[in-house]
């Protein structure tokens, strides 16, 4: 019984994480429900073999780990986590720690902590298989005492930004999974904005896939430098193995999703924290799946996207810069709302720092975001000096992109909603006076008068009363 840590679930992410842990010098005991998977993992461990103890039963797994134990769960989110916890807890000592490193819904994590079956942490891990294997970004939830028990392992396996590990404690209970959820929401919006620009380059400018790849490659050397722009370039250059055609042209344009973006959109509504670019991205994925209806729509109304050349590439790039800043601003504002609503103290600047490497939304911009949030953690990023300057400089480009796209039949839901958010957020006197008057008219809901008096009513109130 001398393994430093245990891990259950040797799927793609679990296997990669286990190898990462072993490689960093920690002895690890591993278990998978299908025993052959465990055997194969151990057999293929190569140099890491001596650090890995394959267990064929949960009892063997538990017996192989040093006390007090720490066991990582890497099983699919939802019921499988509860089932695994139920199977595991009877075998554990009171102070043994279970760490759920899957993409759990933070409400489930909160519930599991409240159930009090024993020490429990919910930890968000980002970076896909590559990240899990060589350095993910790690957003931990739990008490400082529990974090202290596994911090050495987590810091060792995490991605490093100039030596600084991209792993930190976010707060208690579901805080880690909440931050991971918002990370994924930003991921959805960022991906959608890139896809919208890709559509303009392809159908508006008539570029072929390689030319589009070149555009993304070039942008990846500028302010947009990020993992998602980088892989978009690589994706555009890729060829289908069978047909040798550009791979993109061979992929059905219906986006999948496992739910984290949807959770972000739903939770943002509960927090009254507007994240319209993220919502638009979720809606766009849902719409993309309606293949038959879209084909019918094209027959009924004619195809939407037209060729046009009234938008140069620099304007597109600058518009995307504005869009990207706004989607991160919305995500960070949602994190601020959670700090307020849940009594957390989410480390805003630190979150930007641990997103600089390892995770899917890593980008050069995060460095400046960390600095901007450092002094003023609760402020909307769009108001910080650095990003206000960028938005002043680029919002007209975003406006051009959205306007030209609309005029030529290109749907740009995420970019458009980013722009609408920007404009709404700089309109001191908006139009909700009309909403309030309407509400009062039909339901006597009352409004606040500009003279400061609350619970005021329009002249219709008297008529209703008599």
**DSSP-derived pairing of the beta strands 137-141 and 167-171:** parallel
Candidates 126, 220, 264, 417; binder of ligand 6PG (CB under 6 A) is 126
Measured from the CB atom, the residue of 118 and 259 that comes closer to ligand 6PG is 259
**Shortest Å distance, C-beta 327 to ligand 6PG:** 15
257 binds ligand 6PG (CB under 6 A): yes
Measured distance CA(447)–CA(455) in Å, rounded: 5
Span 424-453, contacts to ligand 6PG by CB under 6 A: none
Residue in 448, 408, 449, 446 with CA at minimum distance from that of residue 460: 446
DSSP H or E run through 100: strand 97-100
226 binds ligand 6PG (CB under 6 A): no
Stretch that binds ligand 6PG, among 48-56, 253-261, 310-318, 382-390 (CB under 6 A): 253-261
Candidates 15, 335, 359, 366; binder of ligand 6PG (CB under 6 A) is 359
**Shortest Å distance, C-beta 286 to ligand 6PG:** 12
Asked whether the beta carbons of 432 and 422 are under 8 A apart, the reply is no
| Cα R_g (the chain), whole angstroms | 25
Candidates 9, 14, 122, 127; binder of ligand 6PG (CB under 6 A) is 127
Size of the site for ligand 6PG (CB under 6 A): 13
Whether 11 has a binding-site annotation, put simply, is yes
**Shortest Å distance, C-beta 260 to ligand 6PG:** 5
Whether 286 has a binding-site annotation, put simply, is no
Asked whether the beta carbons of 322 and 390 are under 8 A apart, the reply is yes
Span 291-330, contacts to ligand 6PG by CB under 6 A: none
Residue in 99, 78, 106, 91 with CA at minimum distance from that of residue 21: 99
Whether 174 has a binding-site annotation, put simply, is no
Q: Is 116 helix (H, G, I), strand (E, B) or coil?
A: coil
Measured from the CB atom, the residue of 50 and 256 that comes closer to ligand 6PG is 256
Whether 112 has a binding-site annotation, put simply, is no
Asked whether the beta carbons of 16 and 133 are under 8 A apart, the reply is yes
Angle at 319 between CA 315 and CA 322, to 5 degrees: 145
User: Is 462 labeled as catalytic in the residue annotation?
Assistant: no
> Per the structure block, which two tokens stand in for 229?
């722009």
Span 164-193, contacts to ligand 6PG by CB under 6 A: 184, 187
- Specify whether the backbone of 201 is left (phi greater than 0), alpha (psi in -120 to 50) or beta: alpha
Residue of 56, 115, 162, 187 marked catalytic: 187
Q: Helix and strand tally (H, E) in the chain?
A: 20, 10
Peptide bond into 68 cis (omega under 30): yes
Asked whether the beta carbons of 112 and 173 are under 8 A apart, the reply is no
**Shortest Å distance, C-beta 324 to ligand 6PG:** 17
Whether 184 has a binding-site annotation, put simply, is yes
Residue in 102, 96, 93, 115 with CA at minimum distance from that of residue 141: 102
Residue in 38, 25, 27 with CA at minimum distance from that of residue 1: 27
Measured from the CB atom, the residue of 107 and 205 that comes closer to ligand 6PG is 107
6 binds ligand 6PG (CB under 6 A): no
Residue of 56, 151, 180, 299 marked catalytic: 180
Whether 311 has a binding-site annotation, put simply, is no
For the window 85-104, what string marks contact with ligand 6PG as x by the rule CB under 6 A? ------------------x-
Whether 220 has a binding-site annotation, put simply, is no
Please identify which residue in the block is written with the tokens 């601020």: 336
φ, ψ for residue 65, nearest 5 deg = -105, 140
74 binds ligand 6PG (CB under 6 A): no
**Positive or negative, the Cα torsion across 144, 148, 149, 151?**
positive
**Shortest Å distance, C-beta 255 to ligand 6PG:** 7
User: Is 317 labeled as catalytic in the residue annotation?
Assistant: no
128 binds ligand 6PG (CB under 6 A): yes
363 binds ligand 6PG (CB under 6 A): no
Please identify which residue in the block is written with the tokens 């509960």: 270
258 binds ligand 6PG (CB under 6 A): yes
Whether 285 has a binding-site annotation, put simply, is yes
Measured from the CB atom, the residue of 67 and 258 that comes closer to ligand 6PG is 258
Angle at 91 between CA 90 and CA 95, to 5 degrees: 90
Binding residue ranges for NADP(+):
9-14, 32-34, 75-77, 103
Binding residue ranges for substrate:
103, 126-128, 183-184, 188, 258, 285, 439, 445
Q: Which residues are catalytic?
A: 180, 187
Q: Which residues bind ligand 6PG (CB under 6 A)?
A: 103, 126-128, 184, 187, 256-258, 260-261, 359-360
């Amino acid at each position: 019984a001398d393994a430093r840590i245990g891990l259950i679930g040797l799927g793609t992410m679990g296997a990669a994480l286990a190898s990462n842990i072993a490689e960093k010098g920690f002895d690890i005991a591993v278990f998978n429900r299908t025993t052959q998977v465990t055997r194969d993992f151990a057999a293929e461990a190569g140099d890491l073999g001596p650090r890995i103890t394959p267990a064929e039963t949960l009892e063997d797994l538990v017996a192989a780990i040093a006390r007090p134990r720490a066991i990582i769960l890497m099983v699919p989110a939802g019921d499988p986590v509860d089932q695994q916890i139920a199977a595991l807890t009877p075998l554990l000592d009171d102070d043994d720690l279970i760490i759920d490193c899957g993409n759990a819904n933070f409400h489930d994590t909160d519930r599991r902590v409240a159930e009090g079956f024993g020490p429990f942490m919910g930890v968000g891990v980002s970076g896909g298989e590559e990240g899990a294997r060589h350095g993910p970004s790690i957003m931990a939830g739990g008490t400082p005492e529990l974090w202290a028990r596994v911090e050495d392992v987590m810091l060792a396996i995490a991605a490093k930004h100039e030596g600084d590990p991209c792993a930190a404690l976010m707060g208690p209970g579901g805080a880690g999974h909440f931050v991971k959820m918002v990370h994924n929401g930003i991921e959805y919006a960022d991906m959608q904005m890139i896809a919208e620009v890709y559509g303009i380059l392809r159908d508006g400018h008539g570029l072929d896939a390689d030319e589009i790849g070149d555009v993304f490659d070039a942008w990846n050397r500028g302010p947009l430098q990020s993992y998602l722009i980088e892989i978009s370039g690589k994706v555009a250059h890729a060829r289908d193995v069978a047909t040798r055609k550009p791979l993109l042209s061979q992929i059905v344009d219906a986006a999948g999703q496992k739910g984290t973006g949807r959770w972000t959109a739903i939770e943002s509504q509960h927090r009254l924290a507007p994240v319209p670019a993220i919502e638009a991205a979720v809606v766009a994925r849902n719409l993309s799946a309606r293949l038959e209806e879209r084909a019918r729509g094209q027959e009924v109304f004619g195809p939407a996207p037209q060729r046009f050349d009234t938008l140069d590439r620099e304007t597109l790039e600058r518009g995307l810069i504005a869009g990207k800043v706004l989607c991160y601003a919305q995500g960070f504002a949602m994190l601020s709302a959670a700090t307020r609503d849940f009594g957390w103290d989410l480390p805003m600047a630190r979150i930007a720092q641990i997103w600089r490497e390892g995770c899917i939304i890593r980008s050069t911009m995060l460095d400046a975001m960390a600095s901007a949030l450092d002094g003023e953690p609760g402020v909307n990023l769009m108001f910080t000096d650095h990003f206000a300057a960028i938005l002043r400089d680029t919002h007209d480009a975003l406006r051009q992109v959205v306007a030209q796209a609309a005029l030529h039949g290109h749907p740009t839901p995420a970019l458009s909603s980013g722009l609408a958010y920007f404009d709404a957020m700089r309109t001191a006197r908006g139009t909700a006076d009309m909403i309030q008057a309407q509400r009062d008219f039909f339901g006597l809901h009352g409004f606040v008068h500009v003279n400061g008096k609350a619970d005021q009513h329009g002249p219709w109130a008297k008529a209703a009363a008599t």
